[in-house]
Structure 1
Amino acid sequence: MRHSSAEGKEIEFQLPHIRLSGRHWGRADKPLLLALHGWLDNANSFEPLAKHLQDYQILAIDWPGHGFSEHRPGAYPLHWIDYLYDLEILIDRISEQQTLAGLIGHSLGGIVAAAYTAAFPERVTKLVLMEAVSPLFESASKNNQRLRTSFVSHLRWAKKRAALPTVYDSIEVAIKARSRLTGLEEKWCRLLVERNMQQHDIGVSWRSDPRLKLDSPIRLTFEQVDALMTDHDVETLLITADAGYEQITTLLPKAEVWFNRLCHVQISGDHHLHMGNARAVSESIDLFMSQ
């Protein structure tokens, strides 16, 4: 791992099964926080937060298929469980050099972090979840249709994968499209899109793995998630947004039951509150980490 200045630098981990890229902010003598981004985001999503968390190193990775990280090989369907293994091996690699002070996860990153710490509480001292509580779940009655839908979409994509990627004249098209779709401010969309696209002589195309947008073949049931999350024993800060995802709010009563040591704060902002309201989020994290 290459350490960096407060301005942030590119980092890279060649793990046994895949290459991960990311960004690192802060001095090497500060406590280290590992940051995990959300679906279709990348390490850049933590840049606003890193500018406020001056008392820490922030190491933000790109999940496989996102940002500058390697795509998973082949053309098989992706599943969120794979991220747990990525995280396990990454924490092993980091621990060879220094102690991990805490784990921060936003959205998908929070889902992975919550599940990982539920299964391996001895590996992480403190956990910060932003707009995430647990793995997604659905009724077992939907298994058959989900599996069929997933395979159909992946087989359709596999037949087209040899085709040249769609090239756009400018990155501005993607920035405006994401802003319209998500409501996220254009400046934050730009920060994300710049890392998820690549430049060509005639324009730009997506760098992200197309499979990320296809249905997973299976989802856990509530019974499975409930069994996994019950007696979650890692000290946890849950940060939600007052204009965030509604399903997060509906899970709050479950979170109070699942987590043995939970502190919940709600902050003004949308789902990407760690970008749009980075100062307030950083203040909550600072207070939590200092206790």
Structure 2
Amino acid sequence: MGDETGAAQDCVWEVDGLRLAGRAWGPRDGTPVLALHGWMDHADSFQELAPRLAGCRVVALDLSGQGLSGHRAAHATYNIWDDLPQIAELLDLLGWQDCVLLGHSRGANIAGLFAAAQPGRVRALIALDSLVPEPDPDETIVTTLTAFIEQTRKQKARPPRLFPSTEAYIERRTAQGNARRTSEALAERALAPHPDGVSLRGDPRLFARSAVKLKQADVEAVLRAWRCPVLNIWATEGIKSKRPVLAQLAARAGELVMTYETAELAGDHHFHLEPGAAGQIAEAVLAFLDRHGCR
């Protein structure tokens, strides 16, 4: 059971007829924290950070189509806003009127959209190595829709990715730039047994383009809509170091968000899976929540 010892509890919910899975840490009466993972990750992304958030009840969700959660129906999509109604429903099932939203990467972007659309349900927003969806200044709605249709059809027809062994999956992630420790930590929940080795659980449709890309005005509207305090923690070797537009967004957030604090910690994009960095993140998060009366 999830308790003060750091042990995790496996959780399952049903939302809109879809099985959602997750993990929970901490006392049931602790500060409610809903944790949202990055693209093609899952709830175990928070296995180092969540137990360090003392006094918090951290529920980490496997977003639909990832981890142990079910895949969406054949007619459905995985646009970033498709998760928002499911998050609202999950908060209802948990009995949480509001919560702290903790998001990493794509999960931070989803959390940011939710905090803008449902400000009364978010008492604080913690964004790890991302903040909001990147605006696309050049691509037109027509080219985006074309790619969305073609890629969705292609990915829908693609069988799950196979690996001859768990080690092969770990080596693949490592070759793509993840630390070996990160790759090992994420392997179990990302893979399913297969007669030819292991298969990737993630829905291939997650690789397809979104139907719409937000523009700069849309992103700024999201930033202006936040009513909760925001803590944005970046990794020194994370995605901001590779995408200058994210540095620009962080600077814009400092101008538009009522209460915006930012920090940078040593590590790569999955720094929250490194014990040392996870301890630093937890310390910063707890101090932030206390400073703003969110616990």
Fold similarity call, TM over 0.5: yes
What's the CA shift for 1:212?
Answer: 0.6
Residue of structure 1 equivalent to 2:153: 155
SS at match of 1:102: strand
Counterpart pick for 2:114 among 110, 113, 116: 116
Q: TM-score, normalised by structure 1?
A: 0.90
Q: Any conservation in 2 of the 1:37–1:109 contact (CA below 8 Å)? A: yes
Q: Any conservation in 2 of the 1:34–1:100 contact (CA below 8 Å)? A: no
Residue of structure 2 equivalent to 1:239: 233
SS at match of 2:49: helix
Q: Any conservation in 1 of the 2:19–2:69 contact (CA below 8 Å)? A: yes
| 1:230 pairs with 2:228 | no
What's the CA shift for 1:289?
Answer: 1.4
Cα deviation code 1:54-87 (max 9, x no counterpart): 3222110000000000111015542111011111
Q: TM-score, normalised by structure 2?
A: 0.89
Map 1:23-38 onto structure 2 (within 5 A): 23-38=23-38
Cα deviation code 1:16-60 (max 9, x no counterpart): 342210001112232221111111110000001023223222110
Cα deviation code 1:215-250 (max 9, x no counterpart): 122211112222232252211111111221123323
SS at match of 2:60: strand
Write the distance in 1 (CA, Å) between the matches of 2:197 and 2:235. Answer: 36
| 1:172 pairs with 2:167 | yes
Map 1:97-116 onto structure 2 (within 5 A): 98=96, 100-116=98-114
CA spacing shift, 1:205–1:251, aligned 2, 3 Å: same
Question: What residue ranges of structure 1 are gaps of 5+ in the alignment?
Answer: none
Residue of structure 2 equivalent to 1:185: 179
| 1:53 pairs with 2:53 | yes
Q: Any conservation in 2 of the 1:20–1:70 contact (CA below 8 Å)? A: yes
Write the distance in 2 (CA, Å) between the matches of 1:140 and 1:184. Answer: 30
Q: Identical aligned pairs, as a percentage?
A: 29
Counterpart pick for 1:272 among 267, 270, 274: 270
Map 1:69-218 onto structure 2 (within 5 A): 69-95=69-95, 98=96, 100-139=98-137, 141-158=139-156, 160-161=157-158, 165-181=160-176, 183-218=177-212
Number of aligned residue pairs: 283
CA spacing shift, 1:78–1:16, aligned 2, 3 Å: closer
